[in-house]
Amino acid sequence: MRRPIVRRTDPRLEIIRETIERLIPGSTPAFLGVQVTEKNPNRTAVNTWSGDPAGLAEKVFTALYGRPRTEAVTSPLAQAEAAKRGRDLVAEVDSLTSAHDRLTGAPWYPARPGDTVHVHYEQAGNTSAFGETYIVGDASETGDTPPGLMSLILLAHTLPASTPEDHVKGMTGCFEAEAADDPIYQAWFEAGPHRLTIVRDGRVVHNGGGR
């Protein structure tokens, strides 16, 4: 299935937003609000500004750097293929090695049995946006050295019930793995980290989706 190009904001804007969200440790970003209050002793009225972390982050970013711009984001594999077509060997290798380093350097890495991996696909042509949910399983055998092999099994998808069965088979489950050292490696490179949400023990440990 063709992966559409998405747009992502400047990473500096994301850093500002995430910093604001972390002011309350362990909070759920979707439930956060921001309120700035002016309490002037010479006035009875209290002036306030209310918003959310994303809105405040954009105001701070604009004051520092000007209006944020968006840029195209594709998967590491798509970036490597584009560089290969352009005969840019350095960019081709860099796109793959940097994606590998970002994955293996993540604080939640490696994947563990029980992790759930959500993959989001943007609307492409007549196909509406949809998602898939996979679960990491234990595929090790007796005597294997921990952590052993792991599997990645499709749990659910959000394609409409009216989608023909042969279309469903062709559009879902492509990242399933029966036994692998790193069951999320393929999804990380082919779908891209920006389309993945990884949940461990009921908490999001990687949120690649735009908010």
pLDDT tens for the chain, 211 residues: list them.
444 433 445 667 778 888 999 999 888 888 899 998 988 888 888 888 899 998 898 889 888 877 776 556 678 888 888 888 888 888 888 888 888 888 898 889 999 999 999 999 887 767 778 889 999 998 887 776 666 789 999 999 988 888 888 888 888 888 999 888 899 999 998 888 888 999 999 999 998 864 4
Q: Is residue 186 part of a domain?
A: yes
CA distances from 176 to 22, 99, 112, 139, 186 (A): 34, 20, 15, 13, 9
Same domain membership, residue 136 and residue 52: no
Q: Is residue 1 part of a domain?
A: no
| Cis-peptide, bond into residue 110, ω within 30° of zero | yes
Q: Is residue 84 part of a domain?
A: no
Q: Which domain holds residue 35?
A: 11-65
Alpha carbons 201 and 113: distance in angstroms, whole number: 10
How many structural domains does the chain have?
2
pLDDT at 3: 44
Domain end, chosen from 46, 65, 84, is at: 65
pTM of the model: 0.61
Q: Is residue 146 part of a domain?
A: yes
